[in-house]
Amino acid sequence: MSGERRVRALIKESEIAARIDALARSVADEKPKDLLVVAILKGSFIFAADLIRALHRVGLEPHVEFVHLSSYRESVVSSGQVTILKDIDSSVRGRDVLLIDDILESGRTLAFAKDLLAARGARRVLVCVLLEKPHKRAVHVKADFVGFECPDVFVVGYGMDVAHSYRELPFVGVVETVR
């Protein structure tokens, strides 16, 4: 018998806000040149918006682009293949790029995006993720800035979803079934 679903908070809204301010200061400490922020859609859009505003508060003036990559589709497990659904419009040649994603898990999506931007001539590609699952890596990629280490559970909220649900939640949580 299936029960009612609820979402248990794993990382509170206030914790996320404080960590984003710290991440922005760390990015500013890198003294980026001609900064282009590239947010990976769809999961990172809330994190990226909050981080971009925090970057402004620490004196940075990034240009902003979005790339839509997918390895999940409707599933909760990565397919292992990354597909470009929407590419960026701006040139990255000679620029510092801050690649933002919601979660670093297998690493396939971030490795693909980082390699793509480097091949297009970015001066440097820095990676910032809200969450990292360090024991789930399928390919070698490292985040330069990490919000939180995440346990090995499927998370939703703060832009992340399961089959397009729960993105609107202001916190990161875990879906649980209540009997």
Domains and CATH numbers, the chain: 4-178 (3.40.50.2020)
| Burial category of 73 from C-beta neighbours within 10 Å (exposed 0-12, middle 13-18, buried 19 and up) | exposed
Provide the pLDDT for residue 178.
84
The residue ranking higher by pLDDT, 69 or 48, is 48
pLDDT at 74 over 90: no
Q: How many CB atoms lie within 10 A of CB 27?
A: 24
d(CA 150, CA 134): 8
CB 111, CB 141: distance < 8 Å: yes
Provide the pLDDT for residue 126.
98
Of residues 147, 163, 176, 152, the one with CA closest to residue 12: 147
Provide the pLDDT for residue 1.
44
Provide the pLDDT for residue 69.
87
pLDDT at 26 over 70: yes
Mean pLDDT of 65-91: 79
